[in-house]
């Protein structure tokens, strides 16, 4: 999604001179177009993420809209206090952008993974987090972030194109409509690709609605709540820990609305069960987020409901 991100930022910044872009010494071979087109509004803060966010907050206070870019764990965890105190509590337009969310940086290990980032940030005052599942959602996300002028976090990964006919309602986008839905699958971000790979293997395509969650904190529209009320099973798939993640936020919203599915299952990041590091797909498999385990989980639901 970096290519789409870079192109969208260039488009927005050329149309709005109040947009400033700060990088924490990252973005080589990806952001050179921004450096060229933005001139003095492109700033390399160096390996100093805390200072980067403090500077951004000061500029936002003076009327600028400021993007702060790094890989996800660096832009979230290293400067959490500065983002909370300097930007969020004052509701300033400081926008964090983290590349490689979840296990995106694979073999580089836990210091380069961001599997608790959304729990950290979506719990802060005034913040909206954006988790595109598809590359063509990046420009829409950025445009809305700039329009809303509030603290935000954009989590980038690797995704294809949004399926045709998808409809966004509240935080959830329905990307697959079944003819006789008994199961709703709600995925967070690009991990939905594993869901889409799994569904044809289950022979349950006509029984599953699939949604992606584009934003957190979660907002459910009345129409989506009624759709979820009609199914027997809800499966949440997220490359994020369960505490503070999509499943936990969704379960609270459903209980408040009086929705009680027969089955509710959460597949989430499990950290490092064997103490080893590997590729992103390796960690997804370790956490049961791979398509093979999604298939097994969906079959287990159909067996339990048939008994």
Per residue in 18-52, pLDDT (tens digit) is 999 999 888 677 788 898 899 999 999 999 999 99
- Burial label for 11, CB within 10 Å (0-12, 13-18, 19+), is middle
Q: Is residue 162 part of a domain?
A: no
Please report which confidence band the pLDDT of residue 303 belongs to, taking 50, 70 and 90 as the band edges: low
Within 10 angstroms of residue 250's Cβ, the number of other Cβ atoms is: 27
Q: Is 218 found in the same domain as 133?
A: no
- End of a domain among 136, 156, 176? 156
Q: Is 176 found in the same domain as 31?
A: no
pLDDT of the residue at 304 = 56
pLDDT of the residue at 288 = 97
Which residues constitute the domain of residue 183? 167-306
| Residues written for the chain | 307
Within 10 angstroms of residue 72's Cβ, the number of other Cβ atoms is: 27
- End of a domain among 117, 136, 156? 156
Per residue in 220-257, pLDDT (tens digit) is 999 999 999 999 999 999 999 999 999 999 999 999 99
B/e letters for 262-300, b = 16+ CB within 10 Å, e = fewer, are: ebebbbbbeebeeeebbebebbbbbbbbbbebbbebbee
Q: Is 221 found in the same domain as 146?
A: no
Q: Is residue 92 part of a domain?
A: yes
Q: Is 238 found in the same domain as 213?
A: yes
* Higher-confidence position of 101 and 307: 101
Q: Which has the closest alpha carbon to 20: 38, 2, 36?
A: 38
Domain count, the chain: 2
Q: Is 172 found in the same domain as 144?
A: no
Q: Is 210:236 a contact under the CB 8 Å cutoff?
A: no
Q: Is 150 found in the same domain as 6?
A: yes
Please report which confidence band the pLDDT of residue 2 belongs to, taking 50, 70 and 90 as the band edges: confident
Q: Is 218:290 a contact under the CB 8 Å cutoff?
A: no
What does pTM read for this prediction? 0.94
Q: Is 171 found in the same domain as 151?
A: no
Q: Which has the closest alpha carbon to 217: 198, 178, 244?
A: 244
Query: Mean pLDDT across the chain, nearest whole number?
Result: 94
Task: Identify the H or E element spanning 4.
Answer: helix 2-15
Q: What is the CATH number of the domain that holds 295?
A: 3.40.50.920
Per residue in 101-123, pLDDT (tens digit) is 999 999 999 999 999 999 999 99
Q: Which whole number is the average pLDDT over 162-167?
A: 95
- End of a domain among 156, 190, 215? 156
Q: What is the CATH number of the domain that holds 90?
A: 3.40.50.970
Q: Supply 120's token pair.
A: 């950290």
Q: Is residue 161 part of a domain?
A: no
Query: CA 294, 299, 301, 307: dihedral to nearest 10 degrees?
Result: -170
Q: Supply 228's token pair.
A: 């979820």
């Amino acid at each position: 999604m970096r290519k789409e991100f870079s192109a969208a930022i260039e488009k927005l910044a050329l149309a709005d001179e109040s947009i400033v872009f700060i990088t924490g010494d990252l973005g080589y071979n990806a952001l050179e177009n921004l450096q060229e087109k933005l001139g003095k509004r492109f700033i390399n803060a160096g390996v100093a993420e805390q200072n980067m966010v403090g500077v951004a907050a000061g500029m936002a206070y003076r009327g600028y809209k400021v993007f702060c870019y790094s890989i996800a764990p660096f832009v979230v965890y290293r400067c959490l206090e500065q983002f909370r105190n300097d930007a969020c509590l004052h509701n300033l337009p400081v926008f964090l952008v983290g590349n490689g969310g979840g296990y995106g940086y694979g073999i580089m290990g836990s210091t380069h993974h961001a599997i608790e980032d959304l729990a950290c940030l979506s719990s802060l005052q005034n913040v909206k987090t954006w988790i595109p599942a598809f590359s063509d959602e990046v420009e829409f996300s950025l445009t809305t972030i700039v329009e809303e002028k509030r603290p935000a976090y954009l989590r980038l990964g690797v995704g294809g194109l949004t399926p045709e006919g998808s409809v966004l309602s509240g935080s959830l986008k329905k990307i697959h409509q079944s003819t006789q839905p008994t199961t709703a699958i709600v995925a967070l971000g690009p991990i939905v690709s594993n869901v889409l790979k799994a569904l044809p293997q289950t022979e349950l395509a006509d029984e599953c609605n699939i949604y992606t969650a584009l934003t957190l904190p979660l907002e459910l529209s009345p129409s989506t709540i009624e759709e979820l009320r009609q199914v027997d099973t809800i499966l949440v798939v997220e490359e994020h820990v369960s505490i503070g993640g999509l499943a936990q936020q969704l379960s609270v919203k459903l209980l408040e609305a009086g929705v009680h599915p027969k089955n509710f299952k959460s597949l989430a990041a499990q950290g490092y069960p064997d103490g080893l590091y590997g590729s992103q797909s390796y960690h997804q498999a370790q956490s049961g987020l791979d398509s093979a385990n999604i298939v097994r989980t969906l079959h287990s639901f159909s067996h339990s409901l048939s008994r």
